[in-house]
Amino acid sequence: MIINKKSFPSILTVCAMTCALMVGVWFLLSNTVDKVVEKEARTTAIHWADYFVSHLDDIETLITKGIPDPKQSATIDKAVEFGEVFRFKIFRPDGTNSFISDEYKQKQDEESLIVENKKAARVFNTGNSNIEIKDGRQKANRPDVYVEAYVPIEDKSGTRIGVVEVYIDQTEMVASLKDGFNWIALFLPIISALFFLIPALALLKESASAKEAKAEAEQLANFDSLTGLNNRRSFNDSAESYFKDYSSIGTLFIDVDNFKKINDENGHDGGDAFLRSVGHTIKSKLGENAIFARFGGDEFVACIGDVTPEELKIIAQDILASIAKGMIHRGQEIKGHVSIGLNISKSNEPLTDMLHAADAALYKSKSEGKNTITIFSDALSNEFKRQQKIEKLLNKAVDGTGLEIYYQPINQPETKKILGFEALLRLRDKQGEMISPEEFIPVAERLGLINDIGQWVLGEAVKTAKEWSNETFISVNLSSVQFDQGDLPDFINGLLVKHNFPAERLEVEITESLLIRDDGSTQKQLAAIKSMGVSIAMDDFGTGYSSLGYLWKYGFDKLKVDRSFLLGYDQDPKKLEKVIGSIIHLGHCIDMNVTIEGVESDAHISFLKGMNCDQLQGYYFGKPMTQANAEHMMKAA
Ligand code: C2E
Ligand code: CA
Ligand code: CA
């Protein structure tokens, strides 16, 4: 049941209702006693009058003259003993009194006689009895409670002949009635109160659980369920009023480094414990004056009012050092560290700007090797603005908008014939400026856009190459992120089928970084792609581990020797000759073609002559160019 404030009567209302009920019951019962006494008196009086009339011979004479004969006196004596009647008076049809059963007549004053006479005359005339309950406590020779009942007297034929006023002692009856009613008057409200109070208490209980549910909902809405810390929402809600008390705000953006690894190594339970520990360590270092929240995942944000850059840095260092100490969870040590971005702004700046700046500094900490602190600066600001610009462009570019593919020829060393083209992606900004893939590909990877973009490149490259002469191959660079979902072979296969493109004319280039993090899935996918007939090239060979083991294990078709080798040509050509010669020899030993990248000059060409490499690529043959220029180059050759 959902109880809202409006539908729920407060306990005060319930108490007021119960009190009103008790007063009401009391009032009702008091009235009821009077009514019962009156009813009882009326019945007694009428019965008595009936009895009197039926047992008294010649009542007409008694009414008229007022003097009973001896027989009548005996009946009168009997009647007075009957039904608590302690006195009666007989009146004539005009209301005058003719007889009183005791000596009371002498004590009556003029005034009360007139009242009595009037009442008797009225009862005679109307035929309606008149019953009055009297309090006799202050009067001599009267019971505490008695009734004066004027009842018309009728003869045996039903003709009204006079009025009898009967005095009935009701003290005992009233006492017993009141006694009974007192109990009822006491218990009825109690029972009624219980009747109300029980549901009221139930309602109160429900109200308490409704309050609890509300508190729980608030807890969920404002607090992070894992750490119990404030969440992003409550942080945002409280920020504005918090900022009002300060002139400057220091922001800390804290992110756990390699959290996925911590989770993988210690299980989710361990990962959760680590996040809780990080959250509470940060909180303990911030002091009372800060606002702090878990922003989600492994991100935490704090703002501190009027803090100097030095103080902010000391706090950040303290946090970094404390977290790096690690923690113990279920007897196991969990090690991990965080990166921190710091920023100080004027307190009237928008929160989003403060957070962006601290986030930019954090980004820098991450790119500089993690477990570090970076303070936001103007230089970083430019870098950050550029990042944001690229992010914006990329978000729009997912369907290809703003993206272009350039093509760089790959040539035969002796004949210089074009063997194929490498597809190289370009991002163009609104002003027409080209942004290098070395700059925007990592951003696309970080934003999770590289899959869509990578698929777009593959599709465009295949479509373009389909129009070329049958021998020319097209080589496409793949990001390691494109292997994460495991559906890359299917996508490539679908593309080949759709465009009826010979698999042998497609080449994919990957780098060593993909293989280092392989859990078996990459190897499977590469094998699947290779089995279609697509050629697989190891790109930028010589820049990383240059592991021969990898080359062997993954069965590459081609080795692309990074252009950094040829950059060293001028320093020591002899040594370079040996190094490149060895790589070519090694490649051939394990059935790989070898491509030398970065061929820029005639000197490079003569140097490489006779080295038995398979393909050459570089500015000497052509810079990456538009599709039209590439096609023009092919025709001209
Ligand atoms: P990469 O695969 O090593 O591509 C070769 C890069 O070297 C290209 O830079 C090319 O312009 C440059 N280059 C080629 N010959 C010469 C030369 O003789 N001298 C000099 N100085 N440079 C030369 P670009 O186009 O800026 O591409 C940079 C990197 O971006 C590529 O390196 C590749 O790793 C990545 N990339 C390009 N397109 C894509 C793509 O579609 N997907 C992915 N994942 N990465 C891409
Ligand atoms: Ca490449
Ligand atoms: Ca390369």
**What's the angle, vertex CA 408, arms to CA 630 and CA 510, rounded to 5?**
140
Residue 216 inside a domain? The answer is no
Atom of ligand 1 nearest to the CA of 624: 11
Last residue of a domain, one of 376, 400, 415: 376
pLDDT average, residue stretch 202-222? 78
Q: Which residue's CA is the nearest one to ligand 1's atom 29?
A: 438
More confident residue, 499 or 50: 499
Residue 288 inside a domain? The answer is yes
Each residue of 140-162: b (16+ CB within 10 Å) or e? Answer: eebbbbbbbbbbbbbeeeeeebb
pLDDT average, residue stretch 521-539? 96
The shares of helix, strand and coil residues in the chain, as percent rounded to the nearest 5, are 55, 20, 25
619 in ligand 1 pocket by Cβ < 6 Å? yes
**What's the angle, vertex CA 547, arms to CA 546 and CA 553, rounded to 5?**
135
Q: Which residue's CA is the nearest one to ligand 1's atom 46?
A: 477
435 in ligand 1 pocket by Cβ < 6 Å? no
Dist. CA 552 → ligand 1 center (Å): 25
Dist. CA 603 → ligand 3 center (Å): 20
CATH number for 243: 3.30.70.270
Ligand 1: residue of 477, 480, 615 to mutate (most ligand atoms within 8 A of CB) is 477
Complete DSSP assignment for 112-147: HHHHHHHHHHHHHHH---EEEEEE-TTSTT--SEEE
pLDDT of residue 28: 63
Res 615 pLDDT > 60: yes
State how far the Cα of 546 lies from the Cα of 554, in Å rounded to an integer.
Answer: 13
Supply 326's token pair.
């690690």
**Domain enclosing residue 578, as ranges:** 388-636
Residue 211 inside a domain? The answer is no
Q: Which residue's CA is the nearest one to ligand 1's atom 32?
A: 438
pLDDT average, residue stretch 67-83? 77
State how far the Cα of 389 lies from the Cα of 427, in Å rounded to an integer.
Answer: 11
Residue 189 inside a domain? The answer is no
State how far the Cα of 446 lies from the Cα of 424, in Å rounded to an integer.
Answer: 20
Dist. CA 511 → ligand 2 center (Å): 8
397 and 504 together in one domain:
yes
Res 1 pLDDT > 50: no
Residue 196 inside a domain? The answer is no
Residue 132 inside a domain? The answer is yes
Ligand nearest to the CA of 618: 1
Dist. CA 464 → ligand 1 center (Å): 19
370 and 393 together in one domain:
no
CATH number for 37: 3.30.450.20
357 and 403 together in one domain:
no
Give the confidence band of 8 by pLDDT, cuts at 50, 70, 90.
very low
Beta 327-329 vs 558-561: how paired, if at all?
Answer: unpaired
598 in ligand 1 pocket by Cβ < 6 Å? yes
Dist. CA 407 → ligand 3 center (Å): 13
Ligand nearest to the CA of 624: 1
428 and 370 together in one domain:
no
CATH number for 407: 3.20.20.450
Q: What length is written for the chain?
A: 637
563 in ligand 1 pocket by Cβ < 6 Å? yes
Q: Which residue's CA is the nearest one to ligand 1's atom 11?
A: 624
State how far the Cα of 635 lies from the Cα of 109, in Å rounded to an integer.
Answer: 149
511 in ligand 1 pocket by Cβ < 6 Å? no
Tracing tokens 């063997």 back to the chain, one arrives at 419
State how far the Cα of 620 lies from the Cα of 273, in Å rounded to an integer.
Answer: 57
pLDDT of residue 6: 45
371 and 444 together in one domain:
no
Last residue of a domain, one of 128, 154, 174: 174
pLDDT of residue 4: 43
564 in ligand 1 pocket by Cβ < 6 Å? no
Residue 127 inside a domain? The answer is yes
292 and 416 together in one domain:
no
* DSSP classification of residue 229: S
Q: In a 10 Å sphere around its CB, with 0-12 CB exposed, 13-18 middle and 19+ buried, how is residue 602 labelled?
A: exposed
Dist. CA 540 → ligand 3 center (Å): 4
State how far the Cα of 554 lies from the Cα of 515, in Å rounded to an integer.
Answer: 9
305 and 336 together in one domain:
yes
Supply 482's token pair.
């494109």
Q: Which residue's CA is the nearest one to ligand 1's atom 22?
A: 598
Give the confidence band of 566 by pLDDT, cuts at 50, 70, 90.
very high
Beta 145-154 vs 130-135: how paired, if at all?
Answer: antiparallel
Each residue of 363-391: b (16+ CB within 10 Å) or e? Answer: bbbbeeeebbbbbbeeebeeebeebeebb
Each residue of 525-548: b (16+ CB within 10 Å) or e? Answer: bbebbbeeebbbbbbbbbeeebee
Q: How many domains does the chain have?
A: 3
Dist. CA 470 → ligand 3 center (Å): 24
Residue 210 inside a domain? The answer is no
Dist. CA 562 → ligand 3 center (Å): 5
Res 22 pLDDT > 80: no
353 and 500 together in one domain:
no
Phi-psi region of 533 (alpha: psi -120 to 50; beta: other; left: phi over 0): left
Three-state SS at 87: strand
User: In whole numbers, what is the pLDDT of the chain averaged over residues?
Assistant: 88
507 in ligand 1 pocket by Cβ < 6 Å? no
366 and 407 together in one domain:
no
Give tens-digit pLDDT for 339-392.
Answer: 999 999 999 999 999 998 999 899 889 878 789 999 999 888 888 888 889 999
Atom of ligand 1 nearest to the CA of 450: 44
Atom of ligand 1 nearest to the CA of 619: 18
Ligand nearest to the CA of 438: 1
pLDDT of residue 15: 58
State how far the Cα of 599 lies from the Cα of 609, in Å rounded to an integer.
Answer: 12
159 and 237 together in one domain:
no
Last residue of a domain, one of 355, 376, 397: 376
State how far the Cα of 302 lies from the Cα of 290, in Å rounded to an integer.
Answer: 7
Give the confidence band of 583 by pLDDT, cuts at 50, 70, 90.
very high
Dist. CA 441 → ligand 3 center (Å): 14
State how far the Cα of 509 lies from the Cα of 540, in Å rounded to an integer.
Answer: 9
Q: Looking at the whole model, is its pTM more than 0.85?
A: no
pLDDT of residue 184: 64
290 in ligand 1 pocket by Cβ < 6 Å? no
% the chain with pLDDT above 70: 91
Ligand 1: residue of 411, 422, 424, 597 to mutate (most ligand atoms within 8 A of CB) is 424
* DSSP classification of residue 193: H
Give tens-digit pLDDT for 113-165.
Answer: 888 899 999 989 988 888 888 888 888 778 888 888 888 888 777 788 898 88
Sign of the alpha-carbon dihedral angle for 115, 116, 121, 124: positive
547 and 585 together in one domain:
yes
Dist. CA 424 → ligand 2 center (Å): 8
121 in ligand 1 pocket by Cβ < 6 Å? no
Tracing tokens 């950059």 back to the chain, one arrives at 567
Q: Which residues have CB atoms below 5 A from the ion given as ligand 2?
A: 477, 509, 539
Dist. CA 424 → ligand 1 center (Å): 6
Dist. CA 539 → ligand 3 center (Å): 5
Complete DSSP assignment for 2-60: ---TTTSPPHHHHHHHHHHHHHHHHHHHHHHHHHHHHHHHHHHHHHHHHHHHHHSTTHH
622 and 483 together in one domain:
yes
477 in ligand 1 pocket by Cβ < 6 Å? yes
pLDDT average, residue stretch 577-598? 95
Sign of the alpha-carbon dihedral angle for 497, 502, 503, 507: negative
